[in-house]
Amino acid sequence: MSTLPGIVVTGASGRMGQMLIKLITESDRMHLVSAIERTGHDWVGRDVGAAMGGNDLGVVVTDDALEAIAKAQVVIDFTAPAATIAFAELCAQARAVHVIGTTGMTEDDIAKLAPAARHAVIVRAGNMSLGVNLLTQLTKKVAAALDEDFDIEVIEAHHHHKVDAPSGTALMLGEAAAEGRGVSLKGTMDSGRDGITGARKRGDIGFSAIRGGDIVGEHDVMFAAAGERIVLRHMATDRAVFGRGALKAALWGLSQQPGEYDMLDVLGMND
C-alpha cells in the first residue's frame, strides 16, 4: 500500500481530467486512488488508463463520489459549479484537500463553499499557472499606479469548446485591476457590449472574449490612454501548466489548516 498522498480526479474524461491523471501517474510524490465521472458516462466501470487509450492503471472509473473521496487525501476538481459544490461537502466529511479549478462559479456558488472550508482545505483559483498569478499581481500594481485616464480592458482567448465567458482567469485579472484602483469589480465591470452602446464609461473595467480553434489560453490586460497603451500578456501553449499548478496546490494544501486559499497563497505571493 502506497504511503504517498492519494489523489482523486473528478471529471476524469475531460481535457483537464486526462491531463491531471497523466501527470499524477508520472509523479513520484503522489498516486492516483480514484477517477470520478458522472453516472451514465461510458467510462464508468472501465480502467481509466484503458479509457484514455493507454495501458491499464489499476484504477477503475467510478460514479460513487462518496466512496472515492473517503479514501483520498486530495481531490482535484475541474468540473462544473454544481458538481464542485457537492464535491466540497464530501471533501469536508473526509477532511480531504479540495483543489478547485472549476470556472464559471458565481458569487453565490463560491459562498456555498464556506461551510466546507471550516473542515477542510480548499484551494480555488481561476487559473493555476505561475505566470498568470504573476500577471495578476502585476495588474494590481499597474492599476494602482495609473488613474482613470487609462481605460482597462481584459482580453481573453480560448478554444471553441469553452462554455463560460469571461473566463475565470479574466475575472481574476479584473478583480486584481479593481483592487488596485480601490473599487468594486461588480460596480465597474463592462462585458456585454453589443449594438449601439454609447461611449465607454470612465473608470469601467472592460472584458472581451474570443473563442476559436484549440487556443489553450491567452490573456491581455490593456491600459489605454490618449497617446499610449500598456499591455500585460500571458500566453499558455500547453494545458500541462494548469495541471502542474494544481498538483503543487495539492501538495501544499496537505500541510495547511482548514480554510479557503488561492494560488497566490500556494506560491507565497499574497501581500
**Whether the Cβ atoms of residue 214 and residue 236 lie closer than 8 Å to each other:** no
pLDDT at 1: 58
Q: Both 82 and 182 in a single domain?
A: no
Q: Is 1 inside a domain boundary?
A: no
CATH number at residue 253: 3.40.50.720
Q: Both 81 and 153 in a single domain?
A: no
Could you tell me what percent of the chain has a pLDDT over 90? 89
Q: Both 38 and 139 in a single domain?
A: no
Q: Both 114 and 205 in a single domain?
A: no
Q: Exactly one of 158, 186, 201, 248 is catalytic; which is it?
A: 158
Q: Both 72 and 99 in a single domain?
A: yes
Euclidean distance between CA atoms 85 and 64, whole angstroms: 16
Q: Both 94 and 134 in a single domain?
A: no
Q: What are the pLDDT digits (tens) for 81-91?
A: 999 999 999 99
Euclidean distance between CA atoms 136 and 176, whole angstroms: 6
Q: Is 12 inside a domain boundary?
A: yes
What cell does 99 get? Answer: 483543489
Q: Both 151 and 43 in a single domain?
A: no
CATH number at residue 219: 3.30.360.10
Domain tally, the chain: 2
Q: Both 231 and 244 in a single domain?
A: no
Q: Is 271 inside a domain boundary?
A: no
pLDDT at 103: 85
Q: Is 158 an active-site residue?
A: yes
Q: Is 82 inside a domain boundary?
A: yes
Q: If pLDDT is split at 50, 70 and 90, which confidence band does 2 have?
A: confident
**Domain ranges, residue 80:** 6-124+239-266
Q: What are the pLDDT digits (tens) for 177-206?
A: 999 999 999 999 999 888 998 999 999 999
Q: Exactly one of 41, 159, 162, 248 is catalytic; which is it?
A: 162
Q: How many other C-beta atoms are found inside a 10 Å radius of the C-beta of residue 228?
A: 8
Could you tell me what percent of the chain has a pLDDT over 70? 99
What cell does 105 get? Answer: 462559479
